[in-house]
């Protein structure tokens, strides 16, 4: 994935800002995930429609990846771009449904136009 550009939606940036008030190391945790993307092709669990859900360790808590963050990303092969769409902490939200992901993606597309 080294030749893919990584972008973030406005929603993703807002969520990072909100989460960073509780988890001061969130940006470095995401940077570590980006570094692993450069050497690995693992974007996480495929959700369909070029969407992926990745598990990211939260270094502010000591429970490992299972209690960390979940990052929803979109892989655009044409633009060679990975877009980070949504992030949440497992301690805040146990899981996210496919319908909720669809709503988030639609909102993101509307906001980017």
8 band by pLDDT with thresholds 50, 70 and 90: very high
Which tops the pLDDT comparison, 65 or 13? Answer: 13
Q: Which range marks the domain in which residue 85 is found?
A: 5-112
Q: Which pLDDT score, from 0 to 100, does residue 112 have?
A: 60
Q: What is the pLDDT of residues 44-54, one digit of tens each?
A: 999 888 899 99
Here the CATH number for the domain that contains residue 43 is 3.30.2310.20
Q: How many domains does the chain have?
A: 1
Q: Quick check: helix, strand or coil at residue 19? A: helix
What are the tokens at 71?
Answer: 């990052």
Which tops the pLDDT comparison, 60 or 94? Answer: 60
């Amino acid at each position: 994935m080294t030749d893919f550009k990584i972008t973030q939606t406005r929603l993703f940036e807002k969520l990072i800002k909100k989460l960073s008030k509780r988890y001061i190391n969130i940006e470095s945790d995401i940077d570590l995930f980006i570094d692993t993307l450069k050497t690995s092709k693992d974007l996480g669990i495929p959700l369909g429609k070029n969407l992926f859900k990745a598990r990211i360790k939260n270094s502010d808590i000591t429970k490992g990846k299972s209690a960390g963050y979940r990052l929803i990303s979109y892989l655009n092969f044409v633009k060679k771009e990975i877009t980070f769409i949504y992030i949440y902490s497992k301690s805040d939200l146990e899981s996210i449904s496919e319908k909720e992901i669809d709503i988030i993606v639609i909102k993101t597309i509307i906001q980017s136009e």
